[in-house]
Amino acid sequence: MRRKYLLTVIGPTAIGKTALSIQLARHFGCDILSCDSRQFYKEMTIGTAVPEPDELAAATHHFIHHKSIFDSYTVGDFEKEAITKLDELFATNDFAVLVGGSGLYVDAVLKGFDDFPEVDESARAGLTQKYQSEGIAFLQTELQKRDPDYFAIVDTDNPQRMMRALEVCVSTGLPYSTFLKQKKNTRNFTPIIIGLDAERPTIYDRINRRVDLMMRAGLLEEARALYPHRELNALQTVGYRELFDYFDGNVTLDFAVSEIKKNTRRFAKRQLTWFKRTENARWFDYRENPARIAEFVEEKVREMQS
């Protein structure tokens, strides 16, 4: 049976993962699966940095704009759908590309989704009440106390992610992160993991410039159209929350944009913390010639086949 290879491109936001994934897909004649949890939603385009139409046309993409913000869609749902799609693609091709900055979703495809215990409803109710009365600061403080390891890598601006972790902590008396270290499911493909990185000031400069480009491209108008639905889980994300505060009259537009940049930089730092733990990843400078990275993949495949 021929071995199948999942070329997995990881790294912080704005580092160039989309461009590299397209180059690899074209070189190996295969499809791309996006595991960017914000690009799933068809109502969100500019603020999620969905690939441009010419980029989407350059290679076949899956899991972009395939859901609505009104749909319930979990990492477990994504894992099942992604594995089904990969089985379909690998029936006729030895290669596929996985790309995205959502570490939990990457891990779900590569290793399988962790088997978490049932949550005590009273624990959920108690945490919800505290969050409603004390705000996100309560979740941040409580999670840092109960599970500092997970706190270091989770999006601490995402109340749903922190709430989920705290529910498990309170229900079991164990850190949420302990359930991330269980034996994983077996996969019928071999990951070849490619990381893109840069010096921290370079990453931050690329993020700042990307936010400016998003604003010029119409992010303000996109956020305004989504504003009536601001409470939906899908919209609890950087780039939209800050502009919702502006629409509420709480901050100026300039301040909101500066907050988008700051919060995106913080997000990139957490992405790197998460991805640097990835076993067997080969890291490249973001300026590396894609042809050289394709050569690395070919060398890796020859090693595995020899």
Binding site per annotation, positions for substrate: 13-18
Q: What is the Cα 300 distance to its own chain's centre?
A: 26
Give the DSSP letter string of 36-55.
-TTTTBTT--TTTTPPPHHH
Of 107, 100, 92, 94, residue with least CA distance to 61: 100
Residues forming a β-bridge with 197: 285
Query: What are the angstrom distances between the C-alpha of 59 and each of 98, 123, 185, 211, 246?
Result: 13, 46, 29, 25, 37
Residues forming a β-bridge with 191: 6
Annotated binding site: 11-18
Annotated binding site for ATP: 11-18
Neighbours of 116 (CB within 10 A): 17
Spatial strand order in the sheet of 95-99: 61-62, 32-34, 95-99, 5-10, 190-197, 281-285
Rounded Cα distance between 87 and 58, Å, is 22
